[in-house]
Amino acid sequence: MAGNHEPLMRVVKRGESPFKLKLLVRLIAVLMALIVDALFIYFVTGLNPLVVYTTMFKGTFSTPMRFSWAMRDLASLLLIGIALAPAFKMRFWNIGAEGQVLMGALATAAVMVYYGGKVPNAVLYAAMLVAAVFAGALWGFIPGWFKARLGTNETLFTLMMNYVAIQLVACCVNIWRGQASGLGKLNMKSKAGWFPQLFGQRYNINLIVAALLVILMYCYLRYSKQGYEIAVVGESENTARYAGINVGKVIIRTMILSGALCGLTGFLIVGGRDQTISTTTAGGNGFTAIIVAWLAKFNTFYMALISFLLIFLEKGAGEIASAYNLNDFASDIIAGIILFFILGSEFFINYKPIFRTGRHETLSKEAA
Amino acid sequence: MDTLIAWILRAIPFGTIIMYGALGEIITEKSGNLNLGVPGIMYLGGFAGFASAYLYENSVAEPNMVFCVALALFCAFIASMLGGLIYSFLTISLRANQNVTGLALTTFGMGVANFFGVFILDGRTATQSLVYKTFQTKLPVLSRMGVIGQTVFGYGFMVYAAVILAIILHHVLSHTRTGLNLRAIGENPATADAAGISVTRYKYLATCLGAGISGLGGLYYVLDYNQGIWATTGQIEALGWLAVALVIFTTWKPLNAIWGSYLFGMLYWLYQFLPTLIGFSVPGYITDLIQMVPYLVTIAVLIVTSLRKKREDQPPASLGLAYFREER
Amino acid sequence: MEYAIELRHITKTFGSVIANNDVSLDVRKGEILSLLGENGSGKTTLMNMIAGIYYPDSGEILVEGKPVEIRSPKDAYAHGIGMVHQHFKLIDVFTAAENIALVLDKHEKYDIRAIKAKAREICKRYNFEIDLDQKVYEMSVSQKQTLEIIKMLYHGAQLLILDEPTAVLTPQETEKLFAVMRNMKADGKSIIIITHKLHEVLAISDRVAILRKGEYAGTVETARATESSLTEMMVGKKVELNIERPEPVNPHLRLTVHNLTVENAEGVKILDHVSFDAFSGEILGIAGISGNGQKELLEAIAGLQNPDRDSSIVYYPDDDRDSTAEQLIGKTPKSIRDLGIHLSFVPEDRLGMGLVGSMGMVDNMMLKSYTEGSSFIADRSAPRHLAESIKKELGVVTPSVNTPVSRLSGGNVQKVLVGREIAAAPSVLMTAYAVRGLDINTSYTIYHLLNEQKQKGVAILYVGEDLDVLIDLCDRILVLCGGKCNGIVDARKTTKEEVGLLMTRLKEEQEGGVA
C-alpha cells in the first residue's frame, strides 16, 4: 500500500545510558539554549551577547552582598526541591509545594503574632517550628490520603490545595494588618521570633539548614529503609506488594514528610528571611522546585547545582535589566528557554533514534 | 435585586475568561495531554492580542476598529498556538514529562508577556488600547430591554462567542468522527493507533488548537474585562489556574463549562455582593475565605468523582502519559 | 479450490528468537480452520502478521490468490481480514456503536444512527445479542468479544481470526460463539480459531493446522483426527533431556491447599476449588495452558491474592502437624514472613514483580529482607555479600553488583532472582516459568538448583510449560485446566499425551458440574 513504508526514523528505548552520554547530551542542551538566548538578547537589545553574558555574572558575583542574596534565594528554592524529592521519587506528583510552604509560613507567622513576646524566645522558636511542620504535613497528608485510599488524582488535588492555602494566608494577613495598608514586618519592635544573626545575616541559618538537608535527604533516600521503600513503590507497585510493602502507608507517610519539609521551609522563610508573610511568600518557588527536583532525578546534590543555575540566571537577568534598561522578566524567558532545552534533551538520553537503513532492520545491539 | 444584577454583570464576564481557558484545556486533555502551561498561554494570548491592537492603533491615523479586533484575535490565537506547539513538540515528539514542561511553559509565557509588555508600557504603569470599546459593544436593541436585556444581552461579543464555542466543541466531541477519534486517543492511544488513527497528529492539533482557545481567555481579559488596560500583574496567572480547576469541575465536558464558569464567576465575586444581599457587612478577611470556595468545590468534585468511580466523569484514562508504540 | 488466504514460507524473528520458521498454510473459503499448538509455538505471531501487527522477515501472503502487503491493521481491514485479539482493542468508556465507528473508513459519513442500523442488521443475520448503546466497561467478557466480532464483520471482514476466544468464556457462552461461527461459515466467511482445547477443535473446525516450536507440523482434516492424534502432532515425540531426578528423601506434608477459589476483578473464577498437598523434598510440577490459573495459584499461596472465604491453605512446619500449623489465607506476604515461614517465590514477571529493574543486584537482594533489624538505616553489607556470592556461584554476567538488573540479559536476571529466593533458605519454593527464554545451559543450572533445594527438604512448586521438562524433573504433576485441578499424575509413570490431554480438556464429571 502506498504511503505505508517503513518510517524514516523510529526510536527505541535505551536501557541505561552511560554517564558520559548523559553529561554530553545535557551540556549540548545548555549550550544550545545559551545560543538561542544569545540570539534573543541580540535581537531584542542589539547588544553583543557575550558582553551581556559577562554582565550576568555580576548579578551573583560582583559583590559579597550580591552573592549572599543569591545564596539566600538559593536556600529557599533548594529547600523546597529537597522537600519534593521523596514524593517525586515515589512518582507522586506533588504540585502543591507552594501551598505547603505557605501553610508552614502561615503557622509560623501565627505563632509569632499571638505568642511573640509572651513566651521565652526558645519556646517561641520551638512552637513556630512545630506549628509550621505540622501545618505543612497536614497539607501533604490530605492529598496523600485520598490518593492512597481512593486513587484521587494527586496532580490536580495538590494544585488546588495551593489556592486554598493562598486564600487562607490572604485572610490572616487581612486580619493581622488591621487598618494598616500592609502587614509590614511582624514583631517589628520586639523582634520576637526573628532568627538571630549569623555571620551578619539572619537567613544564613536557612543556608545551613539547606546544606544539612541536602546531605540528610540524600542519605535518607539512599540508605534508609524508608528511602528504599519509596524507591520500590516508585518503580513498581506490583513489586512493592510482592516484597510485602504496604503501598498506601508508604504513600501517606512520604507525603507527610514532603509536606512537613515544605512547612519547615515556610518556617525558615518567615523567621530567617522575610519576618513577615504574604501570599507571595513562596514566590512561585514551589513550582520552580518541581522542575528542579525532576531534572535532578531526585539527587539532592544535583538539585543544589540546578537551583544555583536558575538563581544565577535570575540574578544575572536582573543585572542585565538594570544595566541595559530592560526588565527582570528576561530571567523568566532565559530560564524558560534553558528548561525547554534540558527537558527536550532527556529524550536523547532515554531513547535512541534509528534511521531507515534499507530493507534490513538494524536492530540495535544496545551497548550493554 | 440591583445587587443581584450587578453581581451577574460581574460574574459572567469573569466566567468568560476562564471558560475560554478551560475549553482549550478540555480539548488538550481529551487528547491525553495535561498542559499545566495554561496560565503562560493565557499570558501569551493576552499580550499578543493587546500588543497587536495597541501598535496598530498607534501607527495608523484612523484605525479601523473591526480590523483591529480581528487582528487582535488572530495574533492572540497564533501566539498561544506557538506556546502549545512548544509544549507539543517537547511532550509528544520528545516525550518530555508533561507536568514539568507545562510548568516551564507557564514561567516562559509569563516572562515573555511581561518582558515585552514593559517595552509597550514604556515607563508608565499601565497603557490602554481603545479597541476595548469595540470589544465591549453590546447588542443595540436587546441590551436595553430591561433586566433580561441587561443581564443576558449586555456583554461584548466574546461572551457569546465563548458559549457558541462550547456548544460547537460539545458537538464536535460527541457527534463527529474527529471528536470520537480524539476521545479514543485520550482514553487508549494504543487502540486508537491500531484503528489507524494518527495519534501524533491528533495530539499536536488538539494541543495547539486548545492552546489557541485558552489564549483567547487572556485576550478577553485584557481587551474587554480589563478595559484594554495592560499592566504588569500576576492576575492572569491566577485566572489560568482557575481555568485548570474548571476543567476538573466540568468533568471534561464543554457544556458544563458554560454554567460552571459562570458559577465560578459568581463564587469569585461572592465576597463583594453577598454582604449587601444579606444585609450586613462582612469584614474583609471573610471575603478572602469566600474566594477559596471555587477551589474547595473543585477539590470536592475531584474527590466525589474518584469515590463514585463513574467512568464518564473520570479524567481521560491516558491523561499525563506519553504514548510510545511498543515494538518487540 | 479457492483460498481465502495463503501463507507461503513465512519467517519471523525477534532478535535471536525465531518465532516462525518457514511456515506455509492456507485457509479455504468458507471453512473453519483451527490453529493448534503449545504455548510459544508461534501461533499468535503468525496471526499477527496476517492482521498487520507484525511484518514478516520473509515469505509471502496471498489473499484470494493475489499477493498482498499487509503493513498495518488498516491494510488488513482493506483486504477483508479482521482479528479478535486476546486483549480486546476496545475503548472502555465508548458505547458499542462508538467502538464500531472508530475504525470506519475516513470517507464514510459519521452517522451513528446509520451505523447502528447496519450493525443491527449484522446482529440479526448471525444471531448476535448485543445492546449497541451499552458502554464497553459495563459489558461482560463475552459481550466484549461479541462486539469485537461484530466490529470486524461491520468492516467487511471475509476472514476472521479469533485468538483463543474460548479461554475467557463459560461453556454456555462457548456454545453460543460456536453457533455464531457456524452461521458465519454458512454465509461464506472463513475463520481461523486459535485454541488449545481439543474437544473444541473437533467440534467446530473443518481442518486443523498444527504449529510446533515455530514450525509448521502439518494440517489434517478434522473428520480424520482424534484427540490423541492431535496431541501427538502438537507435542511431538518425547525428547530425552537427561535431567537428574533424585528420589524424594523422607517426604512429609508441608502445604495443604483446599478448595482454593480466586475470582478476578470481573468476578470470573480464575481458580475454582483447587485442592492438593505438597510435600517436602518433592518437586510438584504444575502444568496447564498459560492463563489457566497458575499465576493466581502461586500468588494466592504467597499472600498476594484475595481467595474466597471457604479456601484454605495450611502450612506445616515439620512432622508435628496440628500444633504449629498455620492458616495462610488472609495473611499478607509480610505477616507470613513475620511468622517465620520462608516462602520463596520466583514470579513469572521477573522485572515487573520479582525484581526492581532500575536497581542493582545489591538492592534487589534486600527486597524481602530490608526490614530486618531495628536500625533506621537499611543494612547493605549483607546484601552486598550475598550479591557477590550469587554472582560468583551462579556465574551472573554483570559489570558490577550495582549495575541496574534491567541491563542484564534474561538468563542473568533469572539467576539473580532465583539466587535470591534460594538464599532465603525457604521451606517452600514456588517458581513460575523459571526457564522461559533461557538458553540450555542456564536452564540446566536452574534445574540443578531446584534439585539441590529438593534434597535439602524444600517443597517445590514448579509451574512449567515444557512437558518434556515437567515429566523429567518433577515427582508429581498437577494439571490445571480452566482454573480447576484436572488431575495429579505421577511424573515417573505418565506420558506426554496423558498430560497434554489433561491440559486441553476438562474431565467429564467436572464438566457436568459447571452450573
Question: In terms of pLDDT, which residue wins out, C235 or B110?
Answer: B110
- How many domains does one find in chain A? 1
User: How much is the pTM?
Assistant: 0.86
Which pLDDT band, with edges at 50, 70 and 90, does A360 fall under? Answer: very low
Whether residue A200 lies inside any domain: the answer is: yes
How much is the mean pLDDT over chain C?
Answer: 86
- Residue B153 scores a pLDDT above 90: no
Q: Are residues C89 and B196, on separate chains, in Cβ contact within 8 Å?
A: no
| pLDDT the model gives residue B40 | 95
To the nearest whole angstrom, how far is the Cα of A119 from the nearest Cα of chain B?
27
Task: Give the CA-trace dihedral at C286, C291, C296, C298, to 10 degrees.
Answer: 30
Q: Tell me the three cell numbers of residue B71.
A: 487582528
State how beta strands C484-490 and C58-63 pair: unpaired
Q: Are residues A167 and B36, on separate chains, in Cβ contact within 8 Å?
A: no
| pLDDT the model gives residue B198 | 87
Which pLDDT band, with edges at 50, 70 and 90, does B268 fall under? Answer: confident
Give the pLDDT mean for A77-103: 94
User: How many Å apart are CA C244 and CA A52, to the nearest integer?
Assistant: 77
Residue C271, classed as helix, strand or coil, is strand
Whether residue A23 lies inside any domain: the answer is: no
User: How many Å apart are CA A221 and CA A199, to the nearest integer?
Assistant: 31
Task: Flag whether residue A211 sits within 8 Å of chain B, measured between CB atoms.
Answer: no
CB C28 within 8 A of CB C1: yes
Place of cell 499477527: C48
Give the pLDDT mean for B151-176: 92
| pLDDT the model gives residue B86 | 96
Rounded to the nearest 10 degrees, the angle between the axes of helix A300-323 and helix A49-61 is 110
To the nearest whole angstrom, how far is the Cα of B301 from the nearest Cα of chain C?
19
Question: Shortest CB distance from A167 goes to which of B283, B292, B302?
Answer: B292
User: Phi/psi at B139 (nearest 5 deg)?
Assistant: -65, 130
Question: Shortest CB distance from B180 goes to which of C14, C89, C101?
Answer: C101
Interval C247-300: pLDDT, tens: 888 888 899 999 999 988 777 788 989 999 999 999 999 998 877 888 999 999
Give the residue from chain A lying closest to C68, CA to CA: A1
Residues of C whose CB is below 8 A from B188:
91-92
Task: Flag whether residue B120 sits within 8 Å of chain C, measured between CB atoms.
Answer: no
Give the residue from chain A lying closest to C399, CA to CA: A368
User: How many Å apart are CA C136 and CA C88, to the nearest integer?
Assistant: 11
Task: Flag whether residue A177 sits within 8 Å of chain B, measured between CB atoms.
Answer: no
- Residue B204 scores a pLDDT above 90: yes
Least confident of A104-108, A142-146, A320-324: A320-324
Whether residue A214 lies inside any domain: the answer is: yes
Q: Are residues B97 and A150, on separate chains, in Cβ contact within 8 Å?
A: no
Q: Give chains near B: 3+ CB pairs under 8 A.
A: A, C
| pLDDT the model gives residue C515 | 33
To the nearest whole angstrom, how far is the Cα of C89 from the nearest Cα of chain B?
5
Give the closest residue to C482 by CA, choosing from C440, C449, C513.
C513
Give the pLDDT mean for B264-273: 84
Q: Which residue of A14, A225, A230, A364 is the best one to mutate when testing the C interface, meaning the one whose CB has the most C CBs within 10 A?
A: A225
Interval C173-184: pLDDT, tens: 888 899 999 999
Q: Are residues A153 and B289, on separate chains, in Cβ contact within 8 Å?
A: no
Q: Give the domain B2-313 fold.
A: ABC transporter involved in vitamin B12 uptake, BtuC (1.10.3470)
Which pLDDT band, with edges at 50, 70 and 90, does A1 fall under? Answer: very low
DSSP secondary-structure letter at C321?
T
Give the pLDDT mean for A228-257: 93
How much is the mean pLDDT over chain B?
Answer: 88
Q: Are residues A241 and C333, on separate chains, in Cβ contact within 8 Å?
A: yes
Sign of CA dihedral A26, A29, A33, A38: positive
Interval B219-255: pLDDT, tens: 999 998 888 888 766 788 889 988 998 998 898 999 9
Residues of A whose CB is below 8 A from B89:
344
Which pLDDT band, with edges at 50, 70 and 90, does C52 fall under? Answer: confident
Which pLDDT band, with edges at 50, 70 and 90, does A368 fall under? Answer: very low
- Residue C320 scores a pLDDT above 60: no
- Residue A365 scores a pLDDT above 60: no
How far is the CA of A11 from the CAs of A353, A362, B89, B101, B191, in angstroms? 4, 12, 15, 21, 20
Residue B303 CA from chain centroid, whole number: 23
Residues of C whose CB is below 8 A from B171:
none
| pLDDT the model gives residue B216 | 96
How much is the mean pLDDT over chain A?
Answer: 85
Q: Which residue of A332, A342, A346, A364 is the best one to mutate when testing the B interface, meaning the one whose CB has the most B CBs within 10 A?
A: A332
| pLDDT the model gives residue A15 | 59
- Residue A214 scores a pLDDT above 80: yes
Give the residue from chain B lying closest to C138, CA to CA: B311
Task: Flag whether residue C492 sits within 8 Å of chain A, measured between CB atoms.
Answer: no
Q: Are residues C14 and B328, on separate chains, in Cβ contact within 8 Å?
A: yes
Residue ranges covered by each domain of chain B: 2-313
Residues of A whose CB is below 8 A from C75:
1, 4
Residue A126, classed as helix, strand or coil, is helix
- Residue A364 scores a pLDDT above 60: no
User: How many Å apart are CA C201 and CA C214, to the nearest integer?
Assistant: 20
Question: Shortest CB distance from B311 goes to which of C72, C110, C137?
Answer: C137
| pLDDT the model gives residue C506 | 67
Residue A224, classed as helix, strand or coil, is strand
Q: Are residues B183 and C91, on separate chains, in Cβ contact within 8 Å?
A: yes
Give the residue from chain B lying closest to A148, CA to CA: B306
Q: Are residues C352 and A235, on separate chains, in Cβ contact within 8 Å?
A: no
Question: Shortest CB distance from C102 goes to which of B176, B180, B317?
Answer: B180
State how beta strands C312-315 and C253-263 pair: antiparallel
CB B193 within 8 A of CB B199: yes
Place of cell 514477571: C349
Residues of A whose CB is below 8 A from B114:
327, 329, 332
- Residue A205 scores a pLDDT above 70: yes
| pLDDT the model gives residue B305 | 85
Question: Shortest CB distance from A232 goes to which of C304, C356, C406?
Answer: C356
Residues of A whose CB is below 8 A from C403:
16
| pLDDT the model gives residue C386 | 93
| pLDDT the model gives residue C252 | 86
Whether residue A264 lies inside any domain: the answer is: yes
To the nearest whole angstrom, how far is the Cα of A292 from the nearest Cα of chain C?
21
State how beta strands C32-36 and C207-212 pair: parallel
Question: In terms of pLDDT, which residue wins out, C410 or C153?
Answer: C153
Residues of C whose CB is below 8 A from A15:
404, 406-407
Q: Are residues A332 and B111, on separate chains, in Cβ contact within 8 Å?
A: yes
User: How many Å apart are CA B151 and CA B255, to the nearest integer?
Assistant: 20
| pLDDT the model gives residue A310 | 86
* Residues above pLDDT 70, as percent of chain B: 97
C287, β-bridge pairs: C479
- Residue A2 scores a pLDDT above 60: no
Q: How far apart are the first and last CA of chain A?
A: 38
Q: Are residues A346 and B241, on separate chains, in Cβ contact within 8 Å?
A: no
| pLDDT the model gives residue A362 | 38
Which pLDDT band, with edges at 50, 70 and 90, does A181 fall under? Answer: confident
Q: Are residues C92 and B192, on separate chains, in Cβ contact within 8 Å?
A: no
Domains and CATH numbers, chain C: 3-235 (3.40.50.300), 239-342+425-515 (3.40.50.300), 355-424 (no CATH)
Task: Flag whether residue A327 sits within 8 Å of chain B, measured between CB atoms.
Answer: yes
| pLDDT the model gives residue C458 | 92
User: Which structural domain, as residue segments, surrounds residue A129?
Assistant: 74-303
- Residue A153 scores a pLDDT above 90: no
Q: Are residues C406 and A242, on separate chains, in Cβ contact within 8 Å?
A: no
Sign of CA dihedral C250, C253, C255, C256: positive
Residues 6 or more apart whose CB falls under 8 angstroms from that of C175 comprise none
